[in-house]
Amino acid sequence: MNLYHDIVGKKEKISVIGLGYVGMPVAVAFGKKADVIGFDLNKEKVETYKKGIDPTKEVGEKVIRETTVFFTFSEEDIKKAKFHIIAVPTPITEEKTPDLTSIVSASELLGRNLTQGSIVVYESTVYPGVTEDICVPVLEEISGLKCGIDFKVGYSPERINPGDKVHRLETIVKVVSGMDDESLDVIAKVYELVVEAGVYRAKSIKVAEAAKVIENSQRDINIAFMNELAIIFNELEIDTQAVLEAAGTKWNFLNFQPGLVGGHCIGVDPYYLTYKADQVGYRSQIILSGRRINDDMGKYIVENIIKKSINSNILIKKARVGIFGFTFKENCPDTRNTRVIDIVHELNKYGIEPLVFDPVADREGAITEYGFALKDVGHMNNLDVIIVAVNHDEFKEYSLNRWRSFYRNGDKKVMIDVKGIMGRKVVDSLDISYWRL
């Protein structure tokens, strides 16, 4: 408990390692209650924060300018802290297996700067066992310290929802865990400083790790069910959205929608769980089936684009196709693991190089990760096919005449509305060949 009181009394500091979509809000929130060191290896990112700029759009530039967080890319500064939070990405490889490179590297970095009496909390999404079986040995080997004697560890899964201004760190119940009662108590009390919704003390670190991966696996499976329904109803020529609206009148019907499933959580976390299950001899059935459906939705959408285009007498190889939206979700600049790229790649197979416009997306991130530049809205003209791939608020505000202004003159117009932000009857009345999931 002394560490908690020392943090409150500002005798000891908190370090947050990894200042991305998760780490940055965590650092800023704790900065209101304690002395915080915000560390990231990316010098350019750190300098951007120092200038009061928020490329993630998660906390806002006014908040960053006013925060007391000490931003640094110098790892030696981490030695000044005793309570460490690691919030680095845990993606998957091309083979759909966990990529623990960043979390192991962060553990090595912290190990070089770990001091006696510290507590280390991991927030990165992992499968059960990673914290204790993989990260702890790295910390011990690099630091020369003994876990349980010289330092202790815990796990508290991040639940931040990028782009969501309602469900934030402060307003979502925080699951916390520790290697023993003492570390759990300190970790819980430290997080209670900033989490207004309160904390839930998990029975063990592995329980907390497992809770995180099943949260997003559950969502993934439910969305896969909606996607499968959309495929079935499309074949039956029934409007899926109309069916869901009717079914939604029952009090216990779950309100999930069909669509592309990407990002660094829902489209990734299930593979962490199935990987661990495979290690202990169980081959997942439901989880992997859901993943297969969701991973194939880009291909399915393009198949319907081609069908609609042919029926509208549009020459496929000469078609001018515009994609509106490239981020993995609405109103968020994050393009990591966006499945809109699947639509791009599938269109490429038909000889189509689509124009992609996104008013929200991290443009540099798109170039770095996917190798092409997003277009300005001025380039989105003379189109034959419009694909509304992401339901940004800006797109919802476009009038029908605004959408029509992007098309080529003539009667051959196709609109693919992935998230169904337009009304089918309204669009059909304007002689646009319309399709939605």
Express each pLDDT in 125-159 by its tens digit.
999 999 999 999 999 999 999 999 999 999 999 98
Query: Looking at residue 152, which CATH number applies to its domain?
Result: 3.40.50.720
The DSSP symbol for 382 reads S
β-partners of residue 174 are 199
Model pLDDT, residue 403: 92
Long-range contacts of range 396-401, CB-CB < 8 Å, 24 or more positions apart?
396/421, 400/426, 400/427, 400/430
- Residues 220 and 279: beta-carbon distance below 8 Å: no
Condensed to tens digits (0 to 9), the pLDDT of residues 76-99 reads: 999 999 999 999 999 999 899 999
Does one domain contain both 264 and 152?
no
Q: Which residues contact 49 (CB under 8 A, 6 or more apart)?
A: 19, 24, 38, 64, 71
Strands 355-357 and 385-388: unpaired
pLDDT of residue 160 exceeding 80:
no
Catalytic residue IDs:
265
Q: What percent of the chain has pLDDT over 70?
A: 98
Q: Is 109 a domain residue?
A: yes
Burial class, 64, CB count within 10 angstroms (exposed 0-12 / middle 13-18 / buried 19+):
buried
Does one domain contain both 152 and 268?
no
Does one domain contain both 232 and 193?
no
pLDDT band at 365 (very low <50, low <70, confident <90, very high): confident
Average pLDDT estimate for 221-243: 95
pLDDT of residue 307 exceeding 60:
yes
Q: Is 250 a domain residue?
A: yes
In whole angstroms, how far apart are CA 283 and each of 206, 261, 275, 276? 20, 22, 9, 10
Does one domain contain both 182 and 236?
no
Q: Give the dihedral of Cα atoms 368, 90, 297, 58; nearest 10 deg.
A: -70
Q: Is 427 a domain residue?
A: yes
Q: Is 88 a domain residue?
A: yes
Q: Is 222 a domain residue?
A: no
Rounded Cα distance, 55 and 300, in Å? 33
Model pLDDT, residue 432: 87
Average pLDDT estimate for 316-323: 93
**What integer best gives the mean pLDDT of the chain?**
92
Rounded Cα distance, 239 and 257, in Å? 13
Does one domain contain both 186 and 237?
no
Average pLDDT estimate for 40-47: 93
Residue 14: give the domain boundaries.
Answer: 2-202
Condensed to tens digits (0 to 9), the pLDDT of residues 408-434 reads: 987 788 999 999 888 877 787 778 889
Does one domain contain both 54 and 154?
yes
List of E strands, 306-421: 321-324, 355-357, 385-388, 414-417
How many domains, the chain?
A: 2
Does one domain contain both 282 and 339?
yes
Does one domain contain both 267 and 138?
no
Q: Is 273 a domain residue?
A: yes
Q: Is 265 a domain residue?
A: yes
Does one domain contain both 146 and 241?
no
pLDDT of residue 120 exceeding 80:
yes
pLDDT band at 187 (very low <50, low <70, confident <90, very high): very high
Does one domain contain both 196 and 245?
no
Model pLDDT, residue 311: 92
Does one domain contain both 190 and 285?
no
Residue with tokens 């190798």: 371
Does one domain contain both 397 and 307?
yes
Enter the tokens of residue 313: 């007498």
| pTM score | 0.90
pLDDT band at 215 (very low <50, low <70, confident <90, very high): very high
Q: Is 219 a domain residue?
A: no
